[in-house]
A and B are shown apart, each in its own frame.
Chain A
Amino acid sequence: MKVLVPIKRVIDYNVKVRVKADNSDVDLTNTKMAINPFCEIAVEEAVRLKEAGTVTEIIVVSVGDKTCQEQLRTALALGADRAIQIETDESLDALNIAKLLQKVVEEEQPQLVILGKQSIDSDNNQTGQMLAALTGMSQGTFASEVVVDGDKVNVTREVDGGLQTLALTLPAVVTTDLRLNEPRYASLPNIMKAKRKPLDVKPAADFGINLTARTSLLKVTPPAERQAGIMVGSIDELIEKLKTEAKVIS
Chain B
Amino acid sequence: MSILVYAEHDNTELKADTLKTVTAALKIGSDVHLLVAGANCQSVVEQAAKVTGVTKVLVADNAAYEHQLAENVSALVLELAADYDTIMATALTTGKNFVPRVAALLDVAQISDIIDVESADTFVRPIYAGNAIATVKSLDVKKVLTVRATAFDAADTDGSAEVVTLSNVTDAGISSHVKDELTVSARPDLGAASIVISGGRGMQNGENFKLLDGIADKLGAAIGASRAAVDAGFVPNDMQVGQTGKIVAPDLYIAVGISGAIQHLAGMKDSKVIVAINKDPEAPIFQVADYGLEADLFDALPELEAKL
- Interface on A for B, CB 8 Å cutoff? 11, 13, 16-17, 19, 26, 38, 93-95, 98, 117-118, 120-134, 136-142, 144, 154, 157-169, 177-179, 213-223, 226-232, 234-236, 238-239, 241-242, 246, 248-249
Contact = CB atoms under 8 A, between A and B. Distances in A.
B133 A133 contact: no
A132 B181 contact: no
Contact of A141 (B70, B231, B262): B70
Nearest to A225: B288
Nearest to B130: A223
B238 A168 contact: no
27 contacts: A16-B262, A129-B97, A130-B100, A130-B110, A138-B71, A142-B97, A160-B92, A161-B182, A164-B177, A165-B181, A178-B240, A214-B108, A215-B136, A216-B136, A216-B137, A218-B136, A219-B134, A220-B127, A222-B133, A223-B126, A228-B287, A229-B274, A229-B286, A234-B293, A238-B304, A249-B219, A249-B308
B252 interface: yes
A154 B178 contact: yes
Contacts of A236: 307
Interface string B160-177: 000000000000111111
A29 B271 CA distance: 32
B217 interface: no
Contacts of A169: 173-175
B237 A179 contact: yes
Nearest to B110: A126
B70 A242 contact: no
7 residue pairs, one from A and one from B, having the closest CB atoms: A214-B109, A129-B100, A130-B104, A133-B101, A229-B290, A126-B100, A162-B182
Contact of A122 (B127, B244, B251, B272): B127
Contact of B231 (A122, A163, A178): A178
Interface in B213-253: 219, 227, 230-231, 236-238, 240, 243-244, 246, 251-252
Given A160-B246, A214-B109, A235-B307, A241 B252 contact: no
Interface residues of B, number: 91
B175 A138 contact: yes
A118 B244 contact: yes
A19 B112 contact: no
Contacts, number: 256
Given A95-B108, A129-B70, A215-B139, A220 B132 contact: yes
Given A138-B174, A178-B244, A163 B237 contact: yes
A99 B122 CA distance: 24
B99 to A, nearest CB: 8
A235 B112 contact: no
Contact of A95 (B109, B132, B135): B109
Given A11-B128, A226-B274, 4 more contacts: A94-B100, A213-B139, A228-B287, A231-B292
B206 to A, nearest CB: 15
Interface of B is mostly: mixed
B204 interface: no
B103 interface: yes
B112 A126 contact: yes
Interface string B260-302: 0011000001001111000000000011111111110000100
Contact of A126 (B103, B180, B287): B103
B133 A129 contact: no
Contacts of B262: 16
B133 A220 contact: yes
Contacts of A38: 244
Contacts of B175: 138-140, 166-169
Contacts of A163: 180-182, 237
A17 B128 contact: yes
B178 A167 contact: yes
B136 to A, nearest CB: 5
A248 B101 contact: no
A134 B113 CA distance: 22
Contacts of A220: 127, 132-135
A16 to B, nearest CB: 6
A128 B103 CA distance: 12
A235 B293 contact: yes
Contacts of A16: 131, 262
Contacts of A239: 304, 307-308
A230 B140 contact: no
Contact of B174 (A17, A168, A178, A235): A168
A90 to B, nearest CB: 14
B303 interface: yes
B101 A223 contact: no
Contact of A129 (B104, B125, B129, B177): B104
B71 to A, nearest CB: 7
B227 to A, nearest CB: 6
